[in-house]
Amino acid sequence: MPNVVFFSFSETDRKIVLLIKGRAENSKYTKLNFKVHDLLKRWDTEDPAVIKQAISKAIKGTSRTIVFVGQDTHKSYWVPEEVEMTLEKGKPVYAMKITDKVVAKPRCLSKHGIYLYSWSEKKLQELATRE
């Protein structure tokens, strides 16, 4: 499981996160190099039990979660759930802004003392592969 990361994000940041995932998993893109689990696939359900089960399954095969924080992340219902589920499994959670704009830090990050890093591919690689 080392270097397998769960990506947590707000729906409004889907395109940016998909781009980051593509770079991380592209062997020709050398600045990022790690595997990603996520829920980027669109779901044809709004059933919370089904979604929670999918999150649990995706997190199970990872070593950590990285929360990508954009303008609307603090409004997300699922980001706090993903943070709690990761922490309950004894795995670390890191957070990184994906914009240069001022963003509201999600309460779930503050609650657990999770630092919000500014965007940097170098820092993302370091967080994704930290021992």
pLDDT digits (tens, 9 = 90+) for 67-119: 999 999 999 999 999 999 999 999 999 999 998 899 999 999 999 999 999 99
Per the CB < 8 A criterion, the answer to whether 4 and 35 are in contact is yes
User: What's the average model confidence in pLDDT over 57-63?
Assistant: 90
Total tally of structural domains belonging to the chain = 1
Q: For the domain that residue 23 is a member of, what is the CATH number?
A: 3.40.50.450
CB proximity list for 125: less than 8 A, separation 6 or greater: 31, 32, 33, 34
Determine phi and psi for 127, rounding to 5 degrees.
-65, -35
The Cα-based distances of 71 to 48, 96, 104 in angstroms read: 24, 12, 7
CA distance linking residue 126 with residue 124, whole number of Å: 5
What type of residue sits at position 58? A
Q: What is the pLDDT of residue 4?
A: 92
> Which letter does DSSP use for residue 109 in this model?
H
Parent domain of 46: 4-129
Encoded tokens for 18? 């998909």
Tell whether pTM > 0.85. yes
CA distance linking residue 66 with residue 86, whole number of Å: 10
